[in-house]
Amino acid sequence: MRIYSWRFILVVATAVSLIGYPKAASATTVDVTIGPGGNLVFSPSSVTIHPGDQVKWTWSSSGHSTTSGSPGLPNGIWDSGIHNAGATFTRTFNSAGTFPYYCTPHGGCCNMVGTVTVVNASPTPSPTPMPTATPSATPTPASMLGNISTRSFVQTADNVMIGGFIVQGTQPKMVIIRAIGPELTPFGVPNVLANPTLELHDGAGAVIASNDNWQTTIIGGIITQDQVQEILDSGRAPTDTRESAIIANLPAGNYTAIVRGVSSTTGVALVEVYDLSPDADSILGNISTRSFVQTDDNVMIGGFIVQGSQPKMVIIRAIGPELTQFGVPNVLANPTLELHNGTGALIASNDNWQTTIIGGIITHDQVQEILNSGHAPTDPMESAIIANLPAGNYTAIVRGVSNTTGVALVEVYDLQ
């Protein structure tokens, strides 16, 4: 195992907690019909509720699902499974944010997608306000989960690298997304992707921005002007002209960054998202990355940061067989997961989440905790680790048992 081959540029992101408001006086249930009249739609396709409210989906026609995430990139928050007419599925939403979802058989082909937006209820005004009262400062979060950067071997077709992230909050979030290849060479990474390209998709799967070579802006979608100076001013400009970058001011929603090689070339690359507006009333949510896992230097390596004065409880997952139901071919049949700290030391590992490996920071059986988290993998061969992590940099490494290869997903969820 070569620690030096793991050195890659970690994302440094600062998130700001949302201001907490009281819940609505009583929870309500909002009804959504799936496939009314045989049409490939959710009706209504977009609903707005408050924390504590429920959404109830009712099947009007057969062969559909309600699955959180964007087509081809489930984020694991919920999945009803595929059901037929007359079925129902209900979920309670306890936190503010924007939650895109789709039908697994018809999201990608037919744009059968929907959105649940959860907004904090307006605070009830005091009947006798004090005119000289000093407003309280917005509380600073004790700890935050920084976003993830992922390094893996980029192939072609279904085996490109796909990174998903969520913007949550009341204000747009300014970010820079980067696709890095040649810059990895000085860190001892072999077989880098010589000329990576980058696409940004919204929650409906539409391309909203693209770039090939960051010093040449591609105007279109949400990009309306040359971005070269903005990229330079961000302090995050790639060091090689062949690498790609996009600056975007994104409203709340689910987004996907796709990294490919020019002319179907292959190689090791890094996808990253940096927060350029840490003071905005919005945060970057949990991030997952899907790519083809090979062996040796070409395994999948995800880095994330815990920031703050208190430890952060997270669950890290390595998903393979679960992707089959979403039409992903050549999945990694039996992924293993390692967690390393900022010095490269192994602090936790897992192979098959229903069997806890005691050692490092794992001191007791975790199976029930994983079940209680609501993020248990659906296949027993997939891996998961729950960890209470102090501030620092961490690396999650996904491999296949016995050097097997295939498409896998690495994810980090904030459990607080």
Pair type for strands 335-340 and 207-211: unpaired
DSSP 266: -
Is residue 217 predicted with pLDDT exceeding 90? yes
Mean predicted lDDT score pLDDT of the chain: 83
Burial 151-174 (b: 16+ CB within 10 A, else e): bbbbbeeebbbbbbbbbbbeebbb
Cα–Cα distance measured from residue 360 to residue 56, given in angstroms and rounded to the nearest whole number: 43
**CA-based nearest residue to 303, from 287, 284, 285:** 287
Tens digit of pLDDT for each residue in 111-164? 788 888 888 754 333 333 333 333 333 344 566 655 567 888 898 888 898 888
Q: Is 230 helix (H, G, I), strand (E, B) or coil?
A: helix
Dihedral pair phi/psi, residue 340, rounded to 5°: -115, 150
Q: According to the model, what pLDDT value does residue 146 have?
A: 59
* Beta strand residue intervals within 51-195, DSSP E: 54-59, 67-70, 73-79, 88-92, 97-102, 113-118, 143-145, 149-154, 161-169, 173-180
More confident residue, 195 or 77: 195
Establish how many alpha carbons lie within 13 A of residue 149's alpha carbon, considering only the half-sphere containing its beta carbon: 23
Name the nearest CA neighbour of 396 among 308, 270, 304, 263.
Answer: 304
Strands 253-261 and 97-102: unpaired
The Cβ of residue 351 has, within 10 Å, a number of other Cβ atoms equal to 17
Selected residue with higher pLDDT from 380 and 99: 380
pLDDT of 11 = 30
Structure token pair of residue 70: 């964007």
Give the mean pLDDT of 350-376: 95
Written as six digits, the tokens of 388 are: 């209470």
